[in-house]
């Protein structure tokens, strides 16, 4: 029983070992601006290190109308400082601060 507990604790430690980072990213609509096709409709995405990821933890309309001319994520690519980690090829955001 002691060995099972040790193995379980080690597994949980490894599973929770996703490293959150703070980084400046491009942020926009994954479908309209970044060419992502794995989801229908318009969804918030970030791009950094030449790769785009859909975002969990924030929605596309959390920062205004996604289709607003000149500022909407479906119209333009903006900059943001984000905190989070890539998990299962999605960006798990814990904070999003717009820079523009």
Give the per-residue SS3 of 21-40: EEEEEEEEECCCCCCCCCCC
How would you write the pLDDT of the chain (100 residues) with one tens digit per residue?
444 443 434 444 444 556 788 999 999 999 999 999 999 999 999 999 999 999 999 999 999 999 999 999 999 999 999 999 999 999 999 999 999 8
Q: Which of 24, 25, 44 is nearest to 33 (CA)?
A: 44
pTM of the model: 0.80
What residues contact 95, with CB distance under 8 A and at least 6 apart? 81, 82, 83, 84
């Amino acid at each position: 029983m002691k060995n099972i507990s040790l193995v379980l604790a080690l597994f949980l430690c490894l599973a929770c070992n996703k490293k959150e980072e703070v980084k400046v990213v491009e942020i926009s609509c994954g479908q309209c601006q970044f060419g992502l096709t794995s989801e229908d409709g318009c969804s918030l995405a970030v791009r950094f290190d030449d790769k785009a990821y859909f975002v969990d933890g924030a929605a596309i309309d959390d920062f205004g109308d996604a289709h607003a001319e000149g500022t909407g994520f479906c119209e333009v690519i903006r900059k943001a400082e984000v905190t989070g980690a890539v998990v299962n090829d999605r960006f798990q955001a814990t904070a999003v601060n717009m820079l523009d």
